[in-house]
Structure 1
Amino acid sequence: MQQFNVLHVSTDPFSCRLLRQELLCEDDLMLKIIKPRTRRERKFEEQQAVLDVIDRTQAVIEFATDGTILKANKNFLETLGYELSEIEGHHHSMFVKAEDAQSADYATFWSGLASGEYYSDRFERVSKSGEPVWIQATYAPVFDSEGKVRKVIKIATDVSDASARQEAMDGILTGLEAISQGDLRHRVEVSDIKELSTLGATFNAAIEKLEQVVLSVKQVASTVSAAADGIEGSSGELSSRTESQAATLEETAAAVEELSSAVNSSANLAQDVKGIADTAQRTAKDSNKVMDRAVDAMEAIKQSSEEIGSIVSLIDDISFQTNLLALNAAVEAARAGEAGRGFSVVAAEVRTLAQRSGSAAGEIKKLIERSSSQVHSGVDVVAQVGQELQTIIGGASDISERIGHIASGAKEQAAALQEINVGIGQLDQVTQRNAAMVEETSAVSLDLSHNARLLQQRVATFKVGGDAGQGTVRAVQATPETPLQTHRPAA
């Protein structure tokens, strides 16, 4: 009897598959005995073991050279959700998108397999439910002993999860590229994979916040730019007004200086006029005294005229009496005849003299009366002149007092104008400093306006949801060689 090597003892009749075996059963004990194997049998067994490993771990499907499905293993059917009866005899195109199945590349794909080419890549396929399934697959032709392609075998692995990961990472990469281009409107699709879902949601939240910040910066930049333009215009206008004010103050200071000089001159002239008025008042008082003496002299003349008039009256009376006596003498001489003729001549001469004395006394009396009347008139005139001199003296005194007040007021005005002049000088200095500060402020406002526009240009490169339209936002970008301008006032 030939001896065999016993490899395994088992109660399971299906625990091993052998090409050639004999079974010896004794008391319900199955002995599995393997005959000695040839080298060819061992090689074939190893190949079969490899195929078993592939069948257990990979999705395997066999096609005819035209793409008709021959059979598929369990892994493939589970991956795409079909039963074997649902796909057997159908074309491979049932797993491909309709637009891809109609393409020239798809036809070239199967013609290449039929001619002996193989393809290894990642492919997108469609499951029974219509969901996309990504597989890493190799399509390889199977040759017969004559070197002709007998069928096509595809060995695949479901890499949908890896594809989803890659797709999620590609989406995030696309989002980062969009950010690098300034587009903050891009959002990534959140993956179903937990860790990538968190990453995508965090990415979207960060972009959302960044978009809000940039939108706020745009609004602030626009507001600052408008305010800077307003400040620039106001600063220019204020600078112009300040310069005009400085020039006006300078002219005012010069005018006040001239006015102060004129008031000082007026004060000095008023003082001189006051001296002249005082002198005129003293002269008027002296003239009043002279007039008083003149009035006294006129009174004395009047009295003398009256006394002369009395004497002339007396002379006139004497002449009248003499004339009467001469007349009586002539009468008596006529009575005496020849003896009294000589006396009569004398008496006639005396009478003539008396008449002449009477006429002269009458003339003198008239003259004295006329002189007395004129003296009376002169006394009245001198009295009026005295009164007028009193009025003049009072007016001169009043004028002198008022001129004194004017001189004092002029001095006070001169002092006040001097203080005003000093104040205007200080105000002019302050205005000059203000003008310098306004000029510096104007320069700062220009820098602010420039920087605000530059900020607007820089943030304009970002595209956010608040922008009008969805097109590319074009803006004049500031180059690194265009720094922000900062004006620093001179120390």
Structure 2
Amino acid sequence: MLVGQDFTILHMNPAARALMREAEADFRTELPRFQADALIGSSIDVFQRDPAQQRATLSTLEAPQVTTLRIGPRELDLRVTPLRDNGRRIGFAFEWTDAGERRRNLDHAAQLAALGRSQAIIQFDPDGTILDANANFLQAMGYRPEEVRGRHHAIFVEPSLRESPDYQRFWDRLRAGEYQAAQFRRVGKGGREVWIEGAYNPILDTDGKVAKVVKTATDITPNVQLLGNLKQLIDRNFAEIDGAIARSAGSAGAAAAAADRTNAEVQSAAGGIEQLAASISEIAESMARSRAATERASDETKALARTTDSLTQAAQAMGGIVGLIRTIASQINLLALNATIEAARAGEAGKGFAVVASEVKNLAVQAARATEQISAEIDGIQTTSTGVAGALDAIREAVATVLDSVTLTAAAVEEQNAVTRSLAETMRNAAGSVSTVSASMGEITAAVQEAGDAMGKTKQAAQVLVR
């Protein structure tokens, strides 16, 4: 926009007119009289609320001045240059620019600069000729700028790929505007292997044709080498790991089987001990009954011993009576003898008395014989009673010994019964514990199998990472 010395707008080129029409609504928010199509021939005072200040500034302007105007939401960059003719100022040139575009360009430039600091960037013609490369890319590939400019992208690939149809299709797709991104194996200076993770970005011109291809990349060679080393390590150790897992699985399976067998044996033993406990309980009850019977036998033996003592005393008493009878019989016999002597003296008168005396004598003799026989029987009874008493004493001592043995045995059986019941309870608990161990061994076996599966998946994942 050309402005005369009197601050009248003389000319506007099409770009300036288009910009003013576009910004007219924004100008009118602050300058209600502003009209884009009426600017030529009007004063530049239309752009200011305080025209006097603007005129004062322009009157003293000797060199180009740049400022930014904010009109509502819009920002415009303005460059004012004094126009001179033979040293005399004849007017001003106003150059208007949309500041938003400048700011966007600055933002894009800052983004590109930031990207260039962290990424390797190289630019190609659509045919693959290298236009430029930043320091990161040159460092990754080991080249200097003059060694790559003007050369083809093929210097970064192996000869076998360079001559392949895949490489030709790669560039055909880029020339067609197709974006491509992946991990690429490239060849650096001296044949050094370089791995990059990058993207080839076709850049289109205003006609929609590919003007150039910009590649942004990151050098991942150390990561790929690390993954390669990891794969070698996994391949080297997986056989041992697989073997260890297999052995662990086998051992766990064998332990589980042993635990199952032990569980069955413990269950069987627990059942046997419970039967033994029942049998011992019956024996304890039988011993208790035997103890009671033995105690009763001991009491009966004591009572019989008392009866035998009474019999012995009675036999002894009968011996005294027999002695008395024997004395009486002896006196009767002596009396009969005297009666016989007296009858002989009496002669005929004493014959009848002699007969009586003879019968009395006979009775005395018979009484003496009977007395002897009774005495012999009583002696036999006494001897028998003494033997019975001795035998009863021996029986009483034997019964006492048996009673003591039965008592001790009953106590031992009762203690054994208690221990057996405790053992049966312990065996039941042990059976439960073995069942738990068996279940745990099953879980361990499953865990080992899961570990084996996980190691297999890890191996596959490592192989995928290496690819």
Is it true that 1:211 corresponds to 2:193 in the alignment? Answer: no
What root-mean-square deviation, in Å, do the aligned CA atoms of Structure 1 and Structure 2 show? 4.9
What's the TM-score, normalizing by structure 1?
A: 0.48
Distance in 1, Cα, partners of 2:130 & 2:286: 122
Distance in 1, Cα, partners of 2:150 & 2:283: 103
Distance 1:292 1:48, change over 3 A: same
Asked if the contact 1:263/1:414 (under 8 Å) is kept, the reply is yes
Is it true that 1:264 corresponds to 2:326 in the alignment? Answer: no
Is it true that 1:429 corresponds to 2:411 in the alignment? Answer: yes
Distance in 2, Cα, partners of 1:388 & 1:420: 46
Deviation at 1:116, TM superposition (A): 2.4
Per the alignment, residue 429 of structure 2 pairs with 447
Listed as ranges, the gaps of 5+ residues in structure 2 are 1-128, 134-143, 186-194, 450-467
Corresponding pairs, count: 298
Asked if the contact 2:277/2:424 (under 8 Å) is kept, the reply is yes
Deviation at 1:229, TM superposition (A): 0.8
- After superposition, residues 250-329 of structure 1 pair within 5 angstroms as 250-301=288-339, 310-312=347-349
Per the alignment, residue 161 of structure 2 pairs with 76
Asked if the contact 1:113/1:141 (under 8 Å) is kept, the reply is no
Is it true that 1:460 corresponds to 2:442 in the alignment? Answer: yes
Larger relative strand fraction:
2
Distance in 1, Cα, partners of 2:149 & 2:432: 75
Per the alignment, residue 240 of structure 1 pairs with 278
Q: Residue by residue, what CA displacement relative to the aligned partner does 1:283-317 show, whole Å, maximum 9, x if unpaired?
A: 22332332333344445556666766x5159xxxx
Q: Residue by residue, what CA displacement relative to the aligned partner does 1:353-381 show, whole Å, maximum 9, x if unpaired?
A: xxxxxxxxxxxx7xx49x83x76566555
Query: 1:398 is matched with which residue: 380, 401, 420?
Result: 380
Asked if the contact 2:130/2:153 (under 8 Å) is kept, the reply is no
Distance in 1, Cα, partners of 2:371 & 2:175: 152
Distance in 2, Cα, partners of 1:219 & 1:198: 33
Higher gyration radius (CA): 1
Amino acid corresponding to residue 284 of structure 1 in structure 2:
V
3-state SS of paired residue (2:244): helix
Amino acid corresponding to residue 377 of structure 2 in structure 1:
G
Distance in 2, Cα, partners of 1:111 & 1:375: 178
Q: Residue by residue, what CA displacement relative to the aligned partner does 1:314-349 show, whole Å, maximum 9, x if unpaired?
A: xxxxxxxxxxxxxxxxxxxxxxxxxxxxxxxxxxxx
Query: 1:116 is matched with which residue: 178, 197, 200?
Result: 178
Per the alignment, residue 179 of structure 1 pairs with none
Amino acid corresponding to residue 259 of structure 1 in structure 2:
A
Asked if the contact 1:165/1:196 (under 8 Å) is kept, the reply is no
- After superposition, residues 39-438 of structure 1 pair within 5 angstroms as 43=132, 46=145, 49=148, 55-59=154-158, 74-76=159-161, 116-120=178-182, 147=208, 193=232, 195-301=233-339, 310-312=347-349, 368=352, 372=355, 379-380=361-362, 382-438=364-420
Per the alignment, residue 104 of structure 2 pairs with none
Distance in 1, Cα, partners of 2:177 & 2:306: 132
Asked if the contact 2:177/2:202 (under 8 Å) is kept, the reply is no
Amino acid corresponding to residue 442 of structure 1 in structure 2:
A
Deviation at 1:274, TM superposition (A): 0.7
Identity score, percent: 10
Distance in 1, Cα, partners of 2:168 & 2:325: 157
Distance in 1, Cα, partners of 2:335 & 2:432: 102
Q: Residue by residue, what CA displacement relative to the aligned partner does 1:141-174 show, whole Å, maximum 9, x if unpaired?
A: 8678654589x9999x999x969968x98xxxxx
3-state SS of paired residue (1:461): helix
Distance in 1, Cα, partners of 2:169 & 2:267: 73
Asked if the contact 2:312/2:385 (under 8 Å) is kept, the reply is yes
Listed as ranges, the gaps of 5+ residues in structure 1 are 1-39, 60-73, 78-82, 93-109, 124-134, 170-190, 314-364, 468-491
What's the TM-score, normalizing by structure 2?
A: 0.50
Deviation at 1:221, TM superposition (A): 0.9
